[in-house]
Structure formats: C-alpha cells, structure tokens
Amino acid sequence: KRIYFQAGPTTLPKEVMEQAKEEWDDFQGTGLNIMEHSHRGKHYEDIHEQAKSRMRLLLDIPDTHDVLFLQGGASLQFAMIPMNLISQGKTAKYVLTGSWSEKAFKEAKRIGSSEAVITGKDSEYRTLPKMDYVPSDSDAYLHITSNNTIYGTQWQDLNTFTHPTLIADMSSDIMSKPFSVSNYALIYAGAQKNLGPSGVTAIIIRKDLLQDHENVPSILSYAVHAKNKSLYNTPPVYSIYLLNLVLDWVDRSGGVAEMEVRNKKKADVIYNAIDRSNGFYNGYATPESRSLMNVTFTLGNSDLEKQFIKESEENGIYGLKGHRSVGGFRASIYNAVPQESCESLAEFMDHFQEKYGK
C-alpha cells in the first residue's frame, strides 16, 4: 500500500509502472528496451507521434497550435519564452502568484524588457490577486502560473483570462481539469506532476509564435524544434515513452473531465478534514484560491509538527512535509494519487486531532 503525497518529481499510476515493467527488456517483441531503439526508427517514432496525438486529443488542442516535447524542465521555459518572444519595443508582463512565477519573471528580466503587473505577494501568496489587467499593444505577452505548487493556490477557471498572447506555466495542474487551449498562445508544463517523469517538458504553442530569430541559439528556438518535430536532437526517449503511457491511462480512465471529477473529490476529503478541525489545522490558501493539486496546511500548535510527521509515517503516510519556504504540510494529490490515499490521510488527521487536540 503506497500512501504518498510527495510534490515530486513524479507520481505514476500503478498501471503505468506495471506496463513499463512488463516491457522493460522486450518492447513489443523486439528483445530491446525502447531506450535502445533508434530515436529515428519506427518503434520510437510511433511513440513520439502517439504521445503528441494523445495530448491533442485529451486537451482538445486546435490545429492552430503545435505540441513540442523539450528538455530542460519548466525552468528552461522561463528563459526560452522571453528569448523567443520579447521583440523590440515590447514588454513582457508577469502576474506574480508564487515562487515559480517570481522565478519566471526573474529570468525574463535578465533577457529583455519585463514588468510585473499584478502581484499576490501582499497576501503571502495565500490568495490569488484580482485579475484586472488590461492588455496593451506594447505587451510581448502576459504570463501566469495556473497552479502555485508551493503555496497551494490555483486559478479556479482557466477560461476567464483574455490576452492576445497569454502564456501559462501549467506544470503542476495540466491534465487535471478541462480548459480551452485556444485562449492561450503558449502553455508549458514540466511533465513530472501529471504527465509522467521529469526529463521532458510539454509545450503547446500557437503557430504564429514559431518565428526563428538569428540571435536565439537553435536549441533554444521554438521554431527550430517545431520544424524538426521535437527531434532536433536526441529526445528523452524513456521519459516520452512513460508520458505516452500516462496519457493512455488518462484516456482509459475517462479523460480530463473525469480527472477533474476525481481530483475534486480527492481534494474535498482533505479540505473537509481541515475545515471541521476548528483551527486545529489551518489551510494555508484562502478557500476561494484553494488548489485541487496541492493542499497546504499548518497546525494551530506548531510544536506538534514533528509529531504529526512522525505519526503519519508510522501510519504508512509519506511525503507530507511542506515546502521549506512555507513550512507546515503539503499533500500533493496529482492525477495519479488515488482517492483511498486522501481518505487515509483525512482519517489520520482526525485521529491525530482526537489525540492531541484537547
């Protein structure tokens, strides 16, 4: 029994691990691991294309957008986006809702004209700020972070933002709920939360942004990667192989709409345990900004924190320690985390409160 709430690098569905194990030393009767096949050969190419089509199908990606699989994590996107998309006379605009958006903004400032136009920092990133930014002709783009992994906040509706060049870091909630891709010019996500293992980053980019620039190195150019169908250099074959299996699992499980139903049910169980505790537990995020992916909370009596972790582990529940910058606890409940794990956690929280809450 694995009751595991670690924020990363990866939470994989059990079925995916079983299939990967089965195919480990004999991929489709070839006697080789898929990693041993040429990345220009038919076996791998089929996987590469299948992974892209599954992304398209599951997220209903229109023909106006391309799907890329790159390396370097979401952090490389923090740099690639401004390198490719800030042109002369334009300014990149950032919405700051946590450490990851701060990091994205910091990279942009190193590269070109950039400005933070909205920030939620005043609330210690407990609540999402009002999104009242009015687009300007001089904007290179507007960058948001859909789910703030560390603070446990999440924009509740991804279809409400309007900007002609809207960019979103969806690393920690892509594939967790349906949204309209056509609202976005570029979406990126390090795979290691809902898509598979680290080592591959999914990018969904509107085709009009695929312009090559002389001063951008080829390996950092979206246009070069798109032209080469994400095979400009050796791709992370095994990561993409696993990502493809994860997408197949999402599809067989009922697709992204079903993921949302499950994720809401999972998150409810833990938020309810927090809310009925009368201050024994306190949610870090304000209720209207709560994330379905990362449930963050603290103990009213912080002296009990070590005991909480100790006893949770004695009960077979792992990975609850909060991010070092926020403290407290974080239950990351990505797509692959089952309902039963959330119920076990809520039950443990109730028992812990009964024991120490008097």
Closest CA relative to residue 158, chosen from 183, 193, 130: 183
Per CB under 6 A, does 145 bind ligand PLP? yes
332 binds ligand PLP (CB under 6 A): no
Q: Which residue in the list 93, 177, 193, 266 is annotated as catalytic? A: 193
Q: Does 100 bind ligand PLP (CB under 6 A)?
A: yes
- Decide: is 172 part of the binding site for ligand PLP (CB under 6 A): yes
Q: Is 21 tagged catalytic?
A: no
| 149 contacts ligand PLP (rule: CB under 6 A) | yes
Shortest separation between residue 146's beta carbon and ligand PLP, angstroms: 8
Give how many residues touch ligand PLP by CB under 6 A: 11
Instruction: Give yes or no for residue 127 binding ligand PLP (CB under 6 A).
Output: no
Min dist. Cβ of residue 110 to ligand PLP (A):
16
Q: Could you say which of 6, 33, 71, 75 contacts ligand PLP (CB under 6 A)?
A: 75
Q: How far is CA 292 from CA 58, 148, 196, 205, in A?
A: 19, 11, 18, 25
Residue among 55, 49, 99, 81 nearest 185 (CA): 81
- Rg of the chain over Cα atoms, rounded to whole angstroms, equals 21
Q: Write out the DSSP string of 62-108.
A: -TTEEEEEESSHHHHHHHHHHHHH--TT-EEEEEE-SHHHHHHHHHH
**CA-closest candidate to residue 97, choices 74, 70, 127, 59:** 127
Is residue 66 annotated as part of the catalytic site, yes or no? no
Closer CB to ligand PLP, residue 188 or residue 348?
188
The residue type of 121 is: K
Q: Kindly indicate which of the ranges 167-175, 218-226, 229-237, 301-309 contains the residues binding ligand PLP, using the contact rule CB under 6 A.
A: 167-175
Residue 20, annotated as binding a ligand: no
Question: Annotated binding residue at 257?
Answer: no
Binding test (CB under 6 A) with ligand PLP, winner from 82, 190, 319, 328: 190
Pairing of strands 186-190, 166-169: parallel
The verdict on 114 binding ligand PLP (CB under 6 A) reads: no
- The Cβ of residue 180 has, within 10 Å, a number of other Cβ atoms equal to 11
- 297 and 286 in contact (C-beta within 8 Å)? no
Q: For residue 100, say whether it is annotated as part of any ligand binding site.
A: yes
Pairing relation of β-strands 3-4 and 139-145? unpaired
CB of 154 to ligand PLP, least distance (A): 10
CA distance 47 to 200: 14
Identify the active-site residue in 52, 66, 93, 100: 100
Q: How far is the CB of 342 from ligand PLP (least distance, A)?
A: 20
The CB-of-100 to ligand PLP minimum distance in angstroms stands at 4
Which region, judged by CB under 6 A, interacts with ligand PLP, from 71-79, 253-261, 325-333, 334-342? 71-79
End-to-end CA separation in angstroms for the chain: 31
- Could you say which DSSP state residue 122 is in? G
The residue (of 143 and 262) whose beta carbon lies closer to ligand PLP is: 143
Using an 8 Å Cβ cutoff, are 286 and 126 in contact? yes
Distance (Å, whole) CA 60 – CA 73: 23
Q: Which two tokens stand for residue 303?
A: 């002296």
Interaction between residue 8 and ligand PLP (CB under 6 A):
yes
Q: Is 155 a catalytic residue?
A: no
Is 74 assigned a ligand-binding role in the annotation?
Answer: yes
**Per CB under 6 A, 107 contacts ligand PLP:** no
* Residue 13: half-sphere exposure toward Cβ, Cα within 13 Å: 21
Judged by CB under 6 A, the residue of 74, 168, 203, 346 near ligand PLP is 74
Q: Which residues bind to ligand PLP, rule: CB under 6 A?
A: 8, 73-75, 100, 145, 149, 169, 171-172, 190
Binding site, annotated residues for L-glutamate: 40
Binding site, annotated residues for pyridoxal 5'-phosphate: 74-75, 100, 149, 169, 192, 233-234
Binding site, annotated residues: 40, 74-75, 100, 149, 169, 192, 233-234
Active site residues: 100, 169, 193
